Each structure stands twice: as C-alpha cells, then as structure tokens.
Amino acid sequence: MPNNPNFITYGGDLTVQPPFQLDRPSMFCFWFQSDCQKLQNILDKRLNFANNGKRYVPFTSSVMLIFADTPHAYSGSDQDQGFITMNEAVFWILAVEQEQDGNKWKSKRLVWFIPYIFVDNPVELIAGREVAGYPKALAEVIMPKNFHYANSFVINPSSYAKFGVNSQFMVNRLMSIDNQSPESSLMEEVNSASQAISNMKSFAAGFRNSGAGICPNVINGIGDVFRLFDNFMSDLFSAQMPAVFLKQFRSASNDGKACYQAIVESSFVINGFHGAWLLKAQNYSLNINHLDSFPVANDLGFYTGQKPTHALWANVSFANTSGQEIWVAPN
C-alpha cells in the first residue's frame, strides 16, 4: 500500500524480504481424499468471511500433502543476508475463486489455499507468518534423503495434545506416512519438464473425463471450471500459480479482536526442473493422531489406514513472489 510506513529493521529481526527463492527442494507429494464440505468449511472460515464480492470453493475433494527438503532458500531481494535449509510439510487445497455477478457466482480462476504448514526452521516460520500470512507452525519434519527408498514421513509439531489447565506444550506426534512394502516404491521416471507436462495433461484429461471428486459448488458452470483447470495444468511450468492466505495479527487488547486482518495473494513460479519419479501410492499408509492444537484429521477428514490416491517425487526450483493485499479489513 502506498501510504505504508517504512519497515524498521533491528538486531534480532528474523523476517525476510520477499520474493523468496527455493533451489532444488526434494519434494514427496501425496494426494489424499478429503470431503468437499469439510474443505468448504475451512475456506468459509478463513477466506469467505470477508464478504468482498468474492468467494472460494473447493474444486475437488482431493488434498495434496508435500514433504519438502530444501537445501538452499533465500530472499531474492536480499541475497547478501544468506540462505537457510529447511524441511517442511504442506497441505494444499485447490480452490476456485468466484466473483458475484447479480444472483450468480462466476468462476474466474484456480488458486491454492494452505490450511496447515509445518516447518523446522524459525526463520522460515517467522517470515512466512509475518510477511505473507502462511499458517506456519514449528515441528519436527522427518523425511528420507534417498528417494529410491522413501519409507517414512513424520510430522511432530510443538503443540497441545489436549487443551486443559494441566496440559503442557510439547512435541507430539501428529502423523506419519509409512511405506508398507520393503522394496523401492519407484514406479516410473519423468526425465524432463516436457514429459512432466505431458503426464500432467494426461492426468488432467482423465480427471476431466471421469469428473470424480468434483465438489458440488462448482458443478453449475463446470465447463468454465474445466477450462480454467486445463489452462492451469498446461501452464504449470510457465505461469504463476496464485495462492491466497489469511494474514492477521491479534490486538494488544484482551478483546479477541485483530489489529490487522487481510486476504493476501502471492504466486509460485517454477523456474527449474531437475527430475521426477512416479511412486507406488498403494504402498503407503497414513497414521494420524488428534491434537487439539492441530485438528488436521477432523478438518480434512483424514483417518488412520488411509492410502494416498497418487504419489510423486519431484525435484524442482521455484520462486514465491512478492504478495499483494486483495482485501483489508476496515479499521
């Protein structure tokens, strides 16, 4: 915003100036079936309260979970500050942004929304929450270094297992994804970005033809939504992929209010492809616990014994662009 004051930097400040560059993260991607109504409840609570002529609805009942090991991440505008390494686990909801047109809602574009993200680096935690509004939480994120034998993925957040006067904040096990088969889970190598795009287009065509998992709020006008989806998949390795976040800060007064609240958008731009493998999704099984601090199972409908529908390992570089406020709560 043009009238914003200059940010005051000082010793001990760990915020990082956008944009951000992540070089060659090793990413394991799992897709799990969720529930359209549960996903809608998340979007209603965190985005649709704004009542600004826009609404967000889930495109599909599938949620993507990415475990990423990033060896080199840094500020694109302040590289002299240095770099960080990090492990993170990110839950992704693909949503449709709709705009009100009279009594109807028209689908405009596809966007990502992140309901939960767990990180093991405090710089990433602080910068993500304070700058862009990522809902980042500190956790042990344990994942394999060798993608040939990707056997166990674990999230242990600092958390309250159960709220209560005698409950201690500590590291608790939230979930794990475990390989039930001792042999390698590699299925098919993807050698180039063009092959990856071809695979994505085939996946998109199959998804479009079956219509499986499409959420009810996008069924009316499904042709427009699939057109957006086709464009989104075709541009995956060349275009900006927008994501929206709720960014807010509590008021210093004990009144349950926010002193700042906004819907912020930033984008992800893939700027390097270094290889990928399709994984045998049927080899993996989810084990998830309830934590009052992070009710992932309840919010997303995940359950112990659940298997991913698809799994993929990828090594890509990408930038997270500077953000913009698309709605700010009035004072």
pLDDT of residue 260: 95
* pLDDT-above-90 percentage for the chain: 61
Task: Report residue 136 as tokens.
Answer: 């980042």
pLDDT of residue 240: 77
Categorize the per-residue pLDDT at 233 as very low, low, confident or very high, splitting at 50, 70 and 90. Answer: low
The yes-or-no verdict on residue 237 having pLDDT over 90 is no
The yes-or-no verdict on residue 181 having pLDDT over 90 is no
**Domain locations along the chain:** 21-328
Categorize the per-residue pLDDT at 214 as very low, low, confident or very high, splitting at 50, 70 and 90. Answer: confident
3-state SS, residue 217 = helix
How confident is the model over 59-78, as pLDDT tens digits?
999 999 999 999 999 988 88
The residue-averaged pLDDT of 149-153 equals 89
Strands (E), 148-257: 152-159, 170-171, 175-179, 186-190, 241-250
The yes-or-no verdict on residue 225 having pLDDT over 80 is no
Closest to 184 in 3D by CA, of 235, 147, 211, 157: 147
How confident is the model over 270-329, as pLDDT tens digits?
888 888 888 889 999 999 999 999 999 999 999 999 999 999 999 999 999 989 999 999
Task: Report residue 304 as tokens.
Answer: 């112990």
pLDDT of residue 184: 66
CATH class of 21-328: mainly beta
Closest to 195 in 3D by CA, of 184, 203, 206, 185: 203
Which range has the worst mean pLDDT, 22-26, 56-60, 276-280?
Answer: 276-280
More confident call, 209 vs 282: 282
pLDDT of residue 169: 98
Task: Report residue 107 as tokens.
Answer: 């689908």
How confident is the model over 126-143, as pLDDT tens digits?
989 999 899 999 999 999
pLDDT of residue 202: 66
pTM for the model: 0.93
The yes-or-no verdict on residue 116 having pLDDT over 90 is yes
The residues that bridge with 270 in the sheet, in sequence order, are 318
The residue-averaged pLDDT of 158-183 equals 94
Strands (E), 143-250: 152-159, 170-171, 175-179, 186-190, 241-250
| Average pLDDT of the chain to the nearest whole number | 88
